[in-house]
Amino acid sequence: SAPGGEDAAASAPQPAAAAPVAALGACPRAGCRGSIIRGKRGYGCSAYKTGCTFVIWKDSFGASLTDAAIAYLLKHGRTALMRLVDEQGRPVEGRLVLQDPNTGQLRLEPVSS
């Protein structure tokens, strides 16, 4: 039994043999028609079996990302304000910005004080 939905991303959300996988938004990768779904360690594209490599790791910049945060990020290109940890390990308030829509790479945008 394969985890996740097989090719359920095509049209209407059909429950797979396992649990139904809720799509959080369309994959932002150019030319991809998949949906972003939650996995064990991150949020990836439902079209991964056909080569889409888009992924956002759940634990990014010291924050454990939620379905709601990912849905907001996919819609607006950035998260709402969050408590994060910068590259030097310092706590900072800021947003995560989708830097590369082809890979899911995020960048930290601190709030200027």
Question: Tens of pLDDT along 24-83?
Answer: 999 999 999 999 999 999 999 999 999 999 999 999 999 999 999 999 999 999 999 999
Read off the tokens for 67. Answer: 């379905």
Domain count, the chain: 1
Give the least confident one: 12-16, 70-74, 96-100, 105-109.
12-16
**pLDDT surpassing 60 at residue 85:** yes
Any domain includes 17: no
Classify residue 40: in a domain, yes or no.
Answer: yes
d(CA 74, CA 37): 11
What does the alpha-carbon distance between residue 53 and residue 29 come to, in Å, rounded to a whole number? 9
| Chain CA centroid to CA 33, Å | 15
Question: Residue 77's domain spans which residues?
Answer: 25-110
Which pTM value belongs to this model?
0.76
77 falls within a domain: yes
Report yes or no on 5 lying in a domain.
Answer: no
Confirm whether 97 is domain-assigned.
Answer: yes
